[in-house]
Chains A and B, each alone.
Chain A
Amino acid sequence: MSKDIKIKKGLDIKLIGEAEKTIENAIISNSYAIRPEDFHSIIPKLVAKEGTRVKAGETLFYNKDNENMKFVSPVSGEITEVLRGPRRRIDAIKITADKEQTYLDHGVFDLNSDAEKIKAHLLASGCWAFIKQRPYDVIAAADVTPKAIFISGYASAPLAADLDFTLAGKEAELQAAVTALSKLTTGSVHISVGDKSNSPLANLEHATTHKVSGPHPSGNVGTLINKVDPINKGETVWTVNAQDLVIIGELLLTGKFNAERIIALAGSSVQKPRYFKTLLGAEIATMVYDKGVERDSNARFISGNVLSGKQVQADEHLDYYSNVLTVIPEGDDYEFFGWNKPIFNKVSTSRALTFSWLNPKKKFDLNTNTNGEHRAFVTTGTYEEVFPLDIYPMQILKACMYKDLDEMEALGMYEVAPEDFALTEFVCVSKQPHQKIIREGLDLMLKEIG
């Protein structure tokens, strides 16, 4: 039951620095790091102590609540450091890579196996980390069967990596992963592709493909869920990033956890934006300096896109889910009469002496300035213009702020993830941290309701 999804509400933020479609091999990173905070709500139990040697695909830690759920090393090498934060929380596990990579062999998997075997295999091999669930936008609980699985094959976020390009030639892996996933749900696997795209995801078996069009967030998986089969109380759906299917597929086909990923280096601070072949957890510095940014330049590195990525330093590492590394200028400067002079070089949805509406095709060079101070919610109706879900955005944000669980539930909290509120946060006149508010709201619900 394929469905064309056309959304009108939204906003395409056009930025300078889109990655050119050429792939380079990134300098091989010496150090890798895995940060447990990438796996939100998982409490890690460390297996690999400092000084131990691991193969690529070998367990680093497991989930305290479910010890079958392993999290594995992207490379073979030696654990050199376990960084700890307050109360001995594990911040990062650093691995110094071997020159010659060796892989733990999980064995070729029989795709005709039943659901339990597939689950066990994904849990043990570290691939479970790629499967997230809603409600709560956390790594999926293994003991729940989802009503459907959603995959977005269309990246509409600003400067996103073009999935048609990065997934090209990976049809076999994608198909293997989708076949396996389709056995884990009572419903079907829903995949969205751009309506004009030439996606390798378009013609997979055991999946329902939907063509989507319209401005961002048309490519968000949350939009897909809301338009195809919204989540009701008591239901669970899973989501998987398209690029992560490749790793899952390769594991099933070859038995090897290959953390290789094609990522886009993009953003206005980069001299020559382009694609790199690298590994999960690779050091940022291995990609950003060659025809990229000047050393010591005042730039912001973001693992992920500009709307919901994580800020990282050059000596830190790519996070587990990103397929784009964005570099934009920092905006830590004052602007004379910035609040009332006419503005031509910034994006705005209003026309209050802001002129981005004059030239809808123009690409902008935006920095990290907040363009104003944090205030209480004042204006109304602005969020609705960029928010395509059938949910009242301001009301649900306020419900999260005053922690009314009943109201959060009634307003649709089970359906949302922080990234769904990235655009409302972008346009927010009061500069409220919407994604953080939603994340905290979801965490509260997870704790209280579960």
Chain B
Amino acid sequence: MGLKNNLHNFKEKNKDKKWLPGFNALFTFLYMPNETTHNGTHIKAADDLKRTMNTVIMALVPCLIFGMFNAGYQHYLAQGLIDSADGFLGASFWTLDNLTVGLWKVLPLVIVSYGVGLAVEFIFAIIKGHEVEEGYLVTGMLVPLIVPVDIPLWMLAVAVIFGVVIGKEVFGGTGMNILNPALTIRAFLFFAYPTWMSGDKVWIHGAVERDQMIAAGQNIDAISGETILGSLAQGKEVAYSIWDMFYGIIPGSVGETSTLLILLGALFLIFAKIGSWRIMLSSVVGALVMGLIFNGFVDAGVITEGSKFYGLMSTEFWHHLLIGGFAFGTVFMATDPVTASQTNKGKWIYGFLVGFLSIMIRVFNPAYPEGVMLAILLMNVFAPTIDHYVVQGNVKKRMKRLKAKTA
């Protein structure tokens, strides 16, 4: 193996160079390193962080591909150029035209996200003299999937730099951060450039551009694509069926619309024992409970049709699982092991509260009708507190045992 030996010799020759972590990151990407154990366990299990991260990326790939088709589909549908697809395998959905638009719009998001994010990671690794850590592999894939398709690339780049530096590196890098970096990036975009992150234009490629053309005096029809949450928050009729929502052929952020594919991803992650089923399950339960409570308010007549909360509160409780970013957030973001609760008992509590608060924020914050992001970020902050009390339970048990002995 010539390449292997050449790379190995190159690494040995440049052992004391400052930029070596940068080279190593690429080298270990090609070849698993020749590192051996010393004392301690002489054998090690097959999994490393790269494999773990890679598994999550594999679970995300169907969402990414679907997102590309959906970008094109929504673009042409809004202009009335194609018929609406009938079901998941609808003829007007899986077309080359749709994919072309998707590739054209979504691939740059992926490239900017990875390019900028990894550049920051490399720079920090070299400055701090440690190896490039794999955390960004997943973050870099999540980011393009949770932004609107038309987001300007420079905004994305700025947000990624902010998210990686402030959200992660200042705490010490992968494994040390308090907030989920991908959500930090999205939150930054959300508060810094709200016009590009909400409303009825940004979810469909071309809609904003058209508005600008109309404003400039051209005589064309505006196109709009309200998300389902947006419609509900404003008390409008929802134009999509439950099955449309489940399949994901609806407007929304790039990769979060298809509950079906997210569900498949979730099953894969649970089967692979990479994603926490405790968090996913308890989050779903939390959301359903909150949904039921709101339905109860409506049924009891506390909230009537005139109320601005009526639209979302009267939404059947289980529909909440299908709309907005709830499914995506629950499966791929709330389960981030670094920022979630770390104890098994804590995961139940944390997940439940993520689901519960998601729906609560969703209903009570109709200006920005997406609660999952804020709920997860909030619970990220509280996760260590939850763990603290769970661990204290174990500590107390030990103290009690001691007391029983000495008494």
**Chain A residues close to B by CB (< 8 Å):** 13, 15, 158, 230, 232-235, 300, 302, 306-311, 326, 328, 330-340, 343, 346-354, 356, 366-382, 384, 390-392, 394-395, 410-412, 422, 425-431, 433-436
* B281–chain A nearest beta-carbon distance, Å: 14
User: How far, in angstroms, from A429 to B50 measured CA to CA in the complex?
Assistant: 9
Assess the A371–B48 pair: CB atoms within 8 A: yes
The answer to whether A338 and B32 touch (CB under 8 A), given A328-B43, A353-B55, is: yes
Assess the A347–B337 pair: CB atoms within 8 A: no
User: How far, in angstroms, from A366 to B42 measured CA to CA in the complex?
Assistant: 9
Residue pairs across A and B with CB atoms within 8 Å: the count is: 227
Indicate whether B18 reaches chain A with its CB closer than 8 angstroms. Answer: no
* Secondary structure of the B contact surface, majority rule: loop
The answer to whether A378 and B338 touch (CB under 8 A), given A232-B398, A354-B47, A431-B44, is: yes
Task: Name the contact of B42 in the complex, choosing from A309, A380, A430 (C-beta under 8 A).
Answer: A309
Indicate whether B135 reaches chain A with its CB closer than 8 angstroms. Answer: yes
* B47–chain A nearest beta-carbon distance, Å: 5
Other contacts beyond A368-B42, A431-B48: 8, CB < 8 A: A232-B398, A338-B32, A340-B51, A347-B45, A375-B49, A376-B174, A425-B40, A426-B44
Indicate whether B273 reaches chain A with its CB closer than 8 angstroms. Answer: yes
Task: Name the contact of A352 in the complex, choosing from B33, B51, B401 (C-beta under 8 A).
Answer: B51
* B198–chain A nearest beta-carbon distance, Å: 33
Instruction: Please give, as numbers and ranges, the residues of chain B lying within 8 Å of A425 by CB-CB distance.
Output: 40-41, 44
Assess the B31–A411 pair: CB atoms within 8 A: no
User: How far, in angstroms, from A423 to B272 measured CA to CA in the complex?
Assistant: 19
Task: Name the contact of B274 in the complex, choosing from A352, A368, A426 (C-beta under 8 A).
Answer: A352
Scan B263-279; emit 1 where CB is below 8 A from any A CB, else 0.
Answer: 00000000111101000
* A113–chain B nearest beta-carbon distance, Å: 30
The answer to whether A426 and B41 touch (CB under 8 A), given A335-B31, A336-B31, A353-B51, is: yes
Indicate whether B237 reaches chain A with its CB closer than 8 angstroms. Answer: no
Q: Which residue of A lies closest to B399 (CB)?
A: A410
Instruction: Please give, as numbers and ranges, the residues of chain A lying within 8 Å of B344 by CB-CB distance.
Output: 381, 384
* B194–chain A nearest beta-carbon distance, Å: 33
Task: Name the contact of B175 in the complex, choosing from A234, A354, A375 (C-beta under 8 A).
Answer: A375
- Pick out which of these stretches binds chain A: B79-87, B116-124, B306-314, B389-397: B389-397
* B6–chain A nearest beta-carbon distance, Å: 12
Assess the A372–B32 pair: CB atoms within 8 A: yes
Indicate whether B34 reaches chain A with its CB closer than 8 angstroms. Answer: yes
Instruction: Please give, as numbers and ranges, the residues of chain A lying within 8 Å of B43 by CB-CB distance.
Output: 13, 15, 158, 306-307, 328, 347, 366-368, 426
User: How far, in angstroms, from A380 to B181 measured CA to CA in the complex?
Assistant: 18
Assess the A331–B272 pair: CB atoms within 8 A: no
Q: Which residue of A lies closest to B24 (CB)?
A: A373
Task: Name the contact of A307 in the complex, choosing from B31, B42, B46, B387 (C-beta under 8 A).
Answer: B42
Instruction: Please give, as numbers and ranges, the residues of chain A lying within 8 Å of B47 by CB-CB distance.
Output: 348-350, 352, 354, 371-372, 427, 429
* Secondary structure of the A contact surface, majority rule: loop
User: How far, in angstroms, from A377 to B175 measured CA to CA in the complex?
Assistant: 6
Indicate whether B30 reaches chain A with its CB closer than 8 angstroms. Answer: yes
User: How far, in angstroms, from A306 to B44 measured CA to CA in the complex?
Assistant: 10
Q: Which residue of A lies closest to B135 (CB)?
A: A378
* B326–chain A nearest beta-carbon distance, Å: 23
* B274–chain A nearest beta-carbon distance, Å: 6
Scan B48-79; emit 1 where CB is below 8 A from any A CB, else 0.
Answer: 11111011000000000000000000000000
The answer to whether A369 and B36 touch (CB under 8 A), given A348-B45, A378-B52, is: yes
Q: Which residue of B lies closest to A355 (CB)?
A: B46
Q: Which residue of A lies closest to B403 (CB)?
A: A232
User: How far, in angstroms, from A15 to B45 measured CA to CA in the complex?
Assistant: 13
Q: Which residue of A lies closest to B387 (CB)?
A: A395
User: How far, in angstroms, from A300 to B402 measured CA to CA in the complex?
Assistant: 44
Q: Which residue of B lies closest to A368 (CB)?
A: B36
User: How far, in angstroms, from A48 to B33 measured CA to CA in the complex?
Assistant: 46
The answer to whether A378 and B273 touch (CB under 8 A), given A333-B34, A368-B42, is: no
Instruction: Please give, as numbers and ranges, the residues of chain A lying within 8 Å of B40 by CB-CB distance.
Output: 308, 422, 425, 433-436
User: How far, in angstroms, from A394 to B55 measured CA to CA in the complex?
Assistant: 23
User: How far, in angstroms, from A309 to B39 measured CA to CA in the complex?
Assistant: 7
User: How far, in angstroms, from A349 to B276 measured CA to CA in the complex?
Assistant: 14
- Quick one: which of B44, B45, B51 has the most chain A CB within 10 A? B45
User: How far, in angstroms, from A331 to B32 measured CA to CA in the complex?
Assistant: 11
Instruction: Please give, as numbers and ranges, the residues of chain A lying within 8 Å of B172 by CB-CB distance.
Output: 376
* A379–chain B nearest beta-carbon distance, Å: 5
* A213–chain B nearest beta-carbon distance, Å: 23
Assess the A369–B34 pair: CB atoms within 8 A: yes
The answer to whether A370 and B402 touch (CB under 8 A), given A336-B4, A376-B176, A430-B49, is: no
Instruction: Please give, as numbers and ranges, the residues of chain A lying within 8 Å of B394 by CB-CB distance.
Output: 390-392, 411-412
Instruction: Please give, as numbers and ranges, the residues of chain A lying within 8 Å of B133 by CB-CB distance.
Output: 375-376
Assess the A232–B401 pair: CB atoms within 8 A: yes
User: How far, in angstroms, from A384 to B28 measured CA to CA in the complex?
Assistant: 29
Instruction: Please give, as numbers and ranges, the residues of chain B lying within 8 Å of A352 by CB-CB distance.
Output: 47, 51-52, 54-55, 272-274
* A87–chain B nearest beta-carbon distance, Å: 21
* B163–chain A nearest beta-carbon distance, Å: 18
The answer to whether A410 and B398 touch (CB under 8 A), given A307-B41, A370-B44, A431-B44, is: yes
Assess the A346–B45 pair: CB atoms within 8 A: yes
Task: Name the contact of A381 in the complex, choosing from B41, B131, B173, B276 (C-beta under 8 A).
Answer: B276
Task: Name the contact of B35 in the complex, choosing from A347, A354, A373, A436 (C-beta under 8 A).
Answer: A373
Assess the B175–A436 pair: CB atoms within 8 A: no
Instruction: Please give, as numbers and ranges, the residues of chain B lying within 8 Å of A343 by CB-CB distance.
Output: 46
Indicate whether B8 reaches chain A with its CB closer than 8 angstroms. Answer: yes
27 CB contacts below 8 A, A to B, read A234-B402, A326-B42, A332-B35, A337-B32, A339-B28, A339-B29, A347-B45, A350-B272, A352-B55, A352-B272, A353-B272, A354-B46, A354-B51, A372-B47, A372-B51, A374-B131, A375-B134, A376-B172, A381-B337, A391-B394, A392-B394, A410-B399, A412-B398, A428-B45, A429-B48, A430-B49, A430-B175
